[in-house]
Amino acid sequence: MRVRGGGRGAAGFRGWWSARGWCAGVVAVVVGGMPLVVAAHVPAAVRYRVTRTIPVGANPQGVAVDPAARTVYVANAGDGAGDGTVSVIDETTGAVTGTIPVGNQPEGVAVDSAAGTVYVANWGGGTVSVISEATGAVTGTIPVGSGPRGVAADSAARTVYVANQFDGTVSVISEATGAVTRTIRVGNLPWAVAADPAARTVYVANYLDGTMSVIDAATGAVTGTIPVGEGGVAVDSAARTVYVASADFDDEEGGDGTVSVIDAATGAVTRTIPVGSDPDQVAVDPAARTVYVANMDGNTVSVIDGATSTVTATVPVGGWPYGVAVDPGTHTVYVANSASNTVSVISRGM
Q: Mean pLDDT across the chain, nearest whole number?
A: 87
Q: Distance (Å, rounded) from C-alpha 283 to C-alpha 265?
A: 20
CATH number attached to the domain at 50-349? 2.130.10.10
pLDDT digits (tens, 9 = 90+) for 80-137: 777 899 999 999 999 999 999 999 999 999 999 999 999 999 999 999 999 999 999 9
Phi/psi at 9 (nearest 5 deg)? -65, -20
Output DSSP code: residue 80. S
| Position 254 pLDDT exceeds 80 | no
Region 179-184: what's the mean pLDDT?
98
Q: What is the pLDDT of residue 100?
A: 98
pLDDT tier, 256 (very low <50, low <70, confident <90, very high otherwise):
confident
Provide the residue count of the chain.
350
pLDDT tier, 72 (very low <50, low <70, confident <90, very high otherwise):
very high
User: Which of 18-22, 45-49, 287-291, 313-317 shows the lowest mean pLDDT across its residues?
Assistant: 18-22
**Chain centre to alpha carbon of residue 97:** 22
Q: Distance (Å, rounded) from C-alpha 74 to C-alpha 76?
A: 6
Q: What is the pLDDT of residue 43?
A: 39
pLDDT digits (tens, 9 = 90+) for 217-238: 999 999 999 999 789 999 999 9
CA distances (Å), 253 to each of 160, 230, 247, 256, 297, in order? Answer: 36, 18, 12, 10, 9
Q: What is the pLDDT of residue 276?
A: 95
Q: What is the pLDDT of residue 77?
A: 97
Q: Which residues is 161 bridged to in the sheet?
A: 152, 172
pLDDT digits (tens, 9 = 90+) for 234-250: 999 999 999 999 976 55
| Position 213 pLDDT exceeds 80 | yes
Q: What is the pLDDT of residue 22?
A: 32
Beta-carbon neighbour count of residue 274 at 10 Å? 12
Q: What is the pLDDT of residue 81?
A: 72
| Position 24 pLDDT exceeds 50 | no
% of the chain beyond a pLDDT of 90: 81
Q: What is the pLDDT of residue 36?
A: 36
Beta-carbon neighbour count of residue 88 at 10 Å? 22
Q: What is the pLDDT of residue 249?
A: 52
% of the chain beyond a pLDDT of 70: 85
pLDDT tier, 138 (very low <50, low <70, confident <90, very high otherwise):
very high
Q: What is the pLDDT of residue 46?
A: 83
Q: Higher-confidence residue: 104 or 22?
A: 104
pLDDT digits (tens, 9 = 90+) for 273-312: 999 999 999 999 999 999 999 999 999 999 999 999 999 9
CA distances (Å), 291 to each of 85, 300, 317, 350, in order? Answer: 28, 14, 16, 18
Q: What is the pLDDT of residue 248?
A: 61
| Position 3 pLDDT exceeds 50 | no
H or E segment and range at residue 103: strand 96-104
Region 310-332: what's the mean pLDDT?
97
pTM of the model: 0.87
Q: Of 297, 303, 340, 296, whose CA–CA distance to 321 is shortest?
A: 296
Per-domain residue ranges of the chain: 8-43, 50-349
